[in-house]
Structure 1
Amino acid sequence: MEMASSDVNIVKSEADVILELCTVIESLSKAAIDRDDVFKVGLSGGSLVKFLSEGLPNIDTDWSKWRLFFCDERVVPTDSADSTYGEYKNKLIGTVPLTEDQFIKIDPDLSAEAAAKDYIQKMAVWFPPDSLPRFHLLLLGMGPDGHTCSLFPNHRLLDETSVWVAPVTDSPKPPPSRITLTFPVVNNAECCVFAVAGAAKADMVKRILKDREETLPASRVQPSNGKLIWIMDKAAASKM
């Protein structure tokens, strides 16, 4: 697999990661809204919730044009601590003028398999019917094992080629039941961004960006006709 070139931005601190990330988001949102009258962005959980809830209140954008999807989601009740949407609802709605209706959410009462199929139908409203969804932006996380979305190392879903959203019932990380975007959709995005901070990420950053370990899920984020941006602080980049 040919690895796409990525923009790697190394900044001083976590606060600078947040600033740089939100500068990128502001710019992409304006371009998307000018062109398409909508900004379609995929969210991940983990540290991104903190980065976005701290940084997004400072950007200039037309919030009413945003539509927020999930790169992956845990099939748990919205009020569960494990719900990524629940986290954004608690930490982002109210700090920026987004409404719950702007989030395209899973149905947590379904099985993972049914939730994945239902989510494809919900996404299909926002994308042309006969082609892969093309997000303006996917905000991706990277786990300590190199997973991204809910695409885990050595998992059969790494080889999924047709389904947009797949169920996961055997996640090595709890909770076991999830849905996730698949690589065909991830790599069809106009822009994918990883924002990472802290020395705990340094080893995996090195394995992906320096050693180019192609088996790691995060290494397989290679937009076929888009941009890949990494934003990290000096601690995360310390083994580069």
Structure 2
Amino acid sequence: MTEPEREILDDAETLASTAAQRALEVLGAAIDQRGVAHLVVTGGGILEQTLAAMAQPDALDWSRVHVWWGDERYVPAESDDRNDRPAMAKLFDHVPYEPAHLHRMPAADAGYARAEDAAAAYADELRSAADGTDVPAFDVVLLGIGPDGHCASLFPGHPGTRVADRSVIAVHDSPKPPPDRLSLTFPALDAARQVWFVASGEGKADAVARALGGAPREEVPSAGPRGRERTLWLLDRDAASNL
């Protein structure tokens, strides 16, 4: 696991365009080296801006990119609360991806009796794409940070922050609606080659400072995920204002 690096950009627009261009470069390099790339996306305003800036059809061979979700709201597939809807609208509707490589988390109306069953199914899908491990070696995971310090759907003090034996969990009683979600766990996120946090705005400044200040990940989950090759925090000046 790597120690966090930090880089401060002038504003949200520069932050999103910088994160996007660098992510495209990492994915392109992975394709050149291994023939395939694995990207993990999550939700949030600045990450939606980043995904929009990544919508460059000719930047790389998108058909070789596997896309995974770091978390998802466990609601029906057509709900506006789904994380995959803005991801599609901002990025994947604009690039020539391979449909079989777009690994959306199950929706609440997908036929599973419980969210736990949906989580287990997604864990199986991850395992099937991995080389003898629970999850693929993600090339880059794009994470945001909540004002409370949460990342993906791992919330402060929630049981999910203590799970060590699964790659995907069901989250209930989320402090942020909707209450039921699916999320990758710390072990799954820690399997990534690179973990990037992208944070913008003064509202994130306290959480950023706590996460980078060494807070326990059970209290500030964003302090937890660490890439095997790199852990990078990309911040605008407002988000970095308490560092």
Contact 1:89-1:100 within 8 A present in 2 as well: no
Cα separation, 2, equivalents of 1:54 and 1:227: 24
The residue that corresponds to 1:78 in the other structure is: 77
The residue that corresponds to 1:8 in the other structure is: 6
The residue that corresponds to 2:194 in the other structure is: 191
Which string of whole-angstrom CA distances, capped at 9 and with x for unpartnered residues, describes residues 99-118 of structure 1? 54431012212221111011
Cα separation, 1, equivalents of 2:138 and 2:206: 29
The residue that corresponds to 1:180 in the other structure is: 183
Contact 2:35-2:64 within 8 A present in 1 as well: yes
Structure 2 gap ranges (5+): none
Contact 1:144-1:204 within 8 A present in 2 as well: yes
- Larger mean Cα displacement after TM superposition, 163-172 or 102-111: 102-111
Aligned partner letter, 1:83: R
Q: What is the aligned length?
A: 236
Matched residue SS, 1:57 = coil
Matched residue SS, 2:72 = strand
The residue that corresponds to 2:224 in the other structure is: 220
TM-score, normalised via structure 2 length = 0.90
Q: Where do residues 43-192 of structure 1 align in structure 2 (5 Å cutoff)?
A: 43-58=41-56, 60-98=59-97, 100-108=99-107, 109=109, 110=112, 111-192=114-195
Off by >6 Å, runs of 4+ in structure 1: none
Cα separation, 1, equivalents of 2:86 and 2:28: 25
Matched residue SS, 2:94 = coil
Cα separation, 2, equivalents of 1:217 and 1:53: 23
Which string of whole-angstrom CA distances, capped at 9 and with x for unpartnered residues, describes residues 126-165 of structure 1? 1123455321111111111100111110112111111111
Aligned partner letter, 1:6: P
Matched residue SS, 1:179 = strand
| Fraction of identical pairs, as percent | 31
Q: Where do residues 24-35 of structure 1 align in structure 2 (5 Å cutoff)?
A: 24-35=22-33
- Larger mean Cα displacement after TM superposition, 171-180 or 3-12: 3-12
Matched residue SS, 1:82 = coil
Matched residue SS, 2:92 = coil
- Larger mean Cα displacement after TM superposition, 87-96 or 186-195: 87-96
Aligned partner letter, 1:191: Q
Matched residue SS, 2:211 = helix
Q: 1:132 and 1:94, CA in 2 relative to 1: closer, same or farther beyond 3 A? A: closer
Cα separation, 2, equivalents of 1:11 and 1:19: 10
Contact 1:119-1:165 within 8 A present in 2 as well: yes
Contact 1:5-1:228 within 8 A present in 2 as well: yes
Q: 1:178 and 1:197, CA in 2 relative to 1: closer, same or farther beyond 3 A? A: same
Which string of whole-angstrom CA distances, capped at 9 and with x for unpartnered residues, describes residues 7-41 of structure 1? 21101011110121012212211221012211111
TM-score, normalised via structure 1 length = 0.91
Contact 1:73-1:180 within 8 A present in 2 as well: yes
Cα separation, 1, equivalents of 2:37 and 2:195: 14
Give, in angstroms, the shift of residue 4 of structure 1. Answer: 4.0
Superposition CA RMSD, Å: 1.8
